[in-house]
Amino acid sequence: MRKLDAARAALLSAPLGIRPDQLLTFAQKGQVWSRRGPRNRNFQVTYEAHLIVTDYTGPPRNLLFVITDWLHQNSPAATDDAVTFHVDILDHGKADVSLRLDLKETIQVDDLPEGLRLSAPPDPDAQAMDMAALFPNMPDVPPGSPADD
């Protein structure tokens, strides 16, 4: 659950004043997807990550910003509605805020001489790909476009 740990760390390191004892984290509704066969031992896990901030004294929108910003950087294939939340207002100065994220992680299995190594590589980001490196002869602008004149 690399991403759940990383999301927790992002909330704790953000300037929101959240202490570790105020942040509960857990995963539920987890699933493992694995293509059967001898050539591929890798697998993928999907789960609902829950992060509950108790006695939060800041505006909930600050939490939502931090977690969506983290999601854009760490889970680029996440759907637009991958984050849901629930706010329980305790009094005029604090609230309990529950965040739910739909997360997906790929687990890569490498067979090494010293044994198996399981790792969770970062997700590929299609928007960050260098198209010029993939297609070195592709023009910067399509032929016939106004910028081509």
**From CA 57, how far away is CA 136, in angstroms rounded?**
52
Whether residue 24 is predicted with pLDDT greater than 80 in this model: the reply is yes
The one-letter amino acid code at 30 reads G
Four-CA torsion 14, 20, 23, 28, nearest 10 degrees: 110
The pair of three-digit structure tokens given for residue 108, joined into one six-digit string: 């890569």
Lowest mean pLDDT: which of 53-57, 109-113, 117-121?
Answer: 117-121
Residue 118, pLDDT score: 81
CA dist list (Å): 138 to 80, 88, 126:
30, 53, 17
Whether residue 149 is predicted with pLDDT greater than 60 in this model: the reply is no
pLDDT band at residue 64 under the 50/70/90 scheme: very high
Lowest mean pLDDT: which of 10-14, 21-25, 83-87, 113-117?
Answer: 113-117
Residue 35, pLDDT score: 81
End-to-end CA distance of the chain: 52
CB 39 within 8 A of CB 16: no
The pair of three-digit structure tokens given for residue 133, joined into one six-digit string: 């490196």
pLDDT band at residue 10 under the 50/70/90 scheme: very high
Residue 137, pLDDT score: 72
Q: Give the mean pLDDT of the chain.
A: 85
| DSSP reduced 3-state for 131 | helix
Whether residue 48 is predicted with pLDDT greater than 90 in this model: the reply is yes
Residue 143, pLDDT score: 62
Mean pLDDT (whole number) for 13-36: 93
Whether residue 95 is predicted with pLDDT greater than 70 in this model: the reply is yes
Residue 126, pLDDT score: 54
Greater model confidence, 129 or 67 = 67
